[in-house]
């Protein structure tokens, strides 16, 4: 449905500013009229109503379950997500082999320890490589990123300055146009008031004449 697109021209440089009493009276009339006919949220000239936001509409079942878990926790700030097992990246201690374990059990324990050692070694190797890349190219990448952001900021500031200047120019043009048309508008308003006054006088005279005619007919009868 389309939004309201009607633009009501105002004449702030010609019309007199309403007094506080007049403004309050106008607002009271508007409120009284709106109380008689409630707003239709589905009116063609009004924006569509905002749909009710529900968690099931925007959240996946996994996120809903996580939010439910945090809501049921006594202290949500201390309730950490245990989806990632960080113990595999911690320093390993030599495995302890039970004295009464069989060779196959010892082999399984050592194999698990070796697998964790491979995982830790791969993690540390990748981290060392990333730190080396960050040390070599991180500073330049950060400076280049700042340079791009500074350019975007200057562009936005320039656009904002041009927009403000265009608004000021348009405001001056509008004031000049209204000042030029002000005397004509005031003259037309005065002519309209006089015409309305003459109409009221004509109606009063007509009513008086009608009363006299009725009075004369009543006497003649």
**Confidence grade of residue 4 (pLDDT, cut at 50, 70, 90):** very low
The model's pLDDT over 69-91, given as tens digits with 9 standing for 90+, comes to 877 877 766 677 666 666 666 77
In this structure, what token pair is assigned to residue 64?
């809903």
User: CA of 132: how far to CAs of 43, 135, 144, in Å?
Assistant: 63, 5, 19
**Confidence grade of residue 221 (pLDDT, cut at 50, 70, 90):** confident
The model's pLDDT over 6-57, given as tens digits with 9 standing for 90+, comes to 545 566 788 888 889 998 999 899 888 888 877 776 666 666 666 665 656 6
Residue 129 vs residue 99, higher pLDDT: 129
pLDDT above 60 for 3: no
Query: Average pLDDT, whole number, for the chain?
Result: 83
Q: What is the rounded distance in angstroms from the CA atom of residue 145 to the CA atom of residue 139?
A: 10
The model's pLDDT over 139-160, given as tens digits with 9 standing for 90+, comes to 899 999 999 999 999 999 999 9
Question: pTM of the full predicted structure?
Answer: 0.45
């Amino acid at each position: 449905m389309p939004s309201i697109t009607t633009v009501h021209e105002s004449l702030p440089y010609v019309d007199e500013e309403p007094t506080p009493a007049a403004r309050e009276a106008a607002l009271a009339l508007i409120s009284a009229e709106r109380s008689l006919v409630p707003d239709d949220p589905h009116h063609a000239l009004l924006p569509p109503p905002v749909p009710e936001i529900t968690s099931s509409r925007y959240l996946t079942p996994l996120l809903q379950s996580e939010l439910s878990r945090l809501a049921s926790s006594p202290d949500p700030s201390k309730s950490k997500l245990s989806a990632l097992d960080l113990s595999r990246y911690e320093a390993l201690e030599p495995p302890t082999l039970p004295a009464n374990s069989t060779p196959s059990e010892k082999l399984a324990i050592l194999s698990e320890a070796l697998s964790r050692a491979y995982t830790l070694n791969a993690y540390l190797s990748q981290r060392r490589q990333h730190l080396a890349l960050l040390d070599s190219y991180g500073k330049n990448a950060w400076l280049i990123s700042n340079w791009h952001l500074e350019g975007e900021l200057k562009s936005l500031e320039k656009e904002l300055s041009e927009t403000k200047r265009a608004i000021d120019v348009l405001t001056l043009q509008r004031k000049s146009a209204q000042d030029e048309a002000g005397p004509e508008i005031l003259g037309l308003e005065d002519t309209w008031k006089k015409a309305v006054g003459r109409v009221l006088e004509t109606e009063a005279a007509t009513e008086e004449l009608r009363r006299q005619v009725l009075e004369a007919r009543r006497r003649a009868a």
